[in-house]
Amino acid sequence: MSKKFVTVILLIAVLFVVAILFFDVGRGGEPSPAPVVSNFEECVAAGNPILESYPRICRTLEGKTFTETTPADPATIVRVTAPKPNDIIVSPVVITGEARGLWFFEASFPVRVLDENGIELGVGIAQAKSDWMTTNFVPFEATVVFRTSTTTFGTLVFQKDNPSGLPEHDAELRIPIRFK
Q: Give the pLDDT confidence of 108-166 residue by residue, as tens digits.
A: 999 999 999 999 999 999 999 999 998 889 999 999 999 999 999 999 999 999 888 88
The residue from 19, 47, 67 where one domain ends is 67
Domain at 168, CATH number: 2.60.40
Q: pLDDT, tens digit, for every residue of 74-106?
A: 667 899 999 999 999 999 999 999 999 989 999
Tell me, yes or no, whether 56 and 79 share the same domain. no
Instruction: Tell me, yes or no, whether 95 and 163 share the same domain.
Output: yes
pLDDT of residue 23: 56
Q: Is 3 helix (H, G, I), strand (E, B) or coil?
A: helix
| Radius of gyration, alpha carbons of the chain | 29
pLDDT number for residue 21: 61
- Can you tell me whether residue 43 is helix, strand or coil? helix
Domain boundary residue among 49, 67, 85? 67
- How many CA atoms are closer than 13 Å to the CA of 4, on its beta-carbon side? 0
The verdict on 102 and 86 lying in the same domain is yes
| SS3 of residue 172 by DSSP | strand
For residues 81 and 170, membership in a common domain is answered with yes
Quote the pLDDT of residue 28. 54
Among residues 52, 67, 82, the one where a domain terminates is 67
Please check whether residues 28 and 45 belong to one and the same domain. yes
Q: Are residues 53 and 100 in the same domain?
A: no
Q: What does the alpha-carbon distance between residue 22 and residue 37 come to, in Å, rounded to a whole number?
A: 19
Mark whether 28 and 79 lie in a shared domain: no
Rounded to whole angstroms, the Cα distance separating 99 from 78 reads 4
Q: Say how many domains are in the chain.
A: 2
Whether 79 and 133 share a structural domain: yes
Range of the domain at 27: 3-67
pLDDT at res. 36: 83
